[in-house]
Amino acid sequence: MNAETTSQRQQASETPTSSDVAVLDPAEEITVPPPPEEVFDHDDLEHFEEDDIDAGRTIGKMLSFLFVYTVIVMTVVAVWTWTVAGH
């Protein structure tokens, strides 16, 4: 019974009270800060776009190479397994 009372006290102390919760007044206007000034100029954005295109091409080439490598290794292992199995 003592353990139950202790756990109930802990739960009660962890429960937020009305003073812990912020209440917004619905009549109060919410102000939004103005958008920040542009950090990058047009030339920087074009450079970023070119870098993204180059990165996409490089990733595509790497994935293609790894796919071909996987198919070759899979074929070699399949032939090796076929010959070892005695077919």
Domain count, the chain: 1
**Residue 70 domain-assigned (yes or no):** yes
Residue 66: predicted pLDDT: 98
In a domain, 56, yes or no: yes
Note whether residue 61 is domain-resident. Answer: yes
Full-model pTM: 0.50
22 domain residue, yes or no: no
Determine the structural domain holding residue 74 and report its residue range. 44-87
Q: Does the residue 26 lie in any domain?
A: no
- Give me the residue label for tokens 């490089």: 58
What does the DSSP assignment read for 16-83?
Answer: PPTTTS----TTSPPP-PPPPPPSS-HHHHHHHHHHHHHHHHHHHHHHHHHHHHHHHHHHHHHHHHHH
Average pLDDT per consecutive 10 residues, the chain (87 residues; last block may be shorter): 59 61 71 81 93 98 98 97 83
Residue 76 lies in a domain: yes
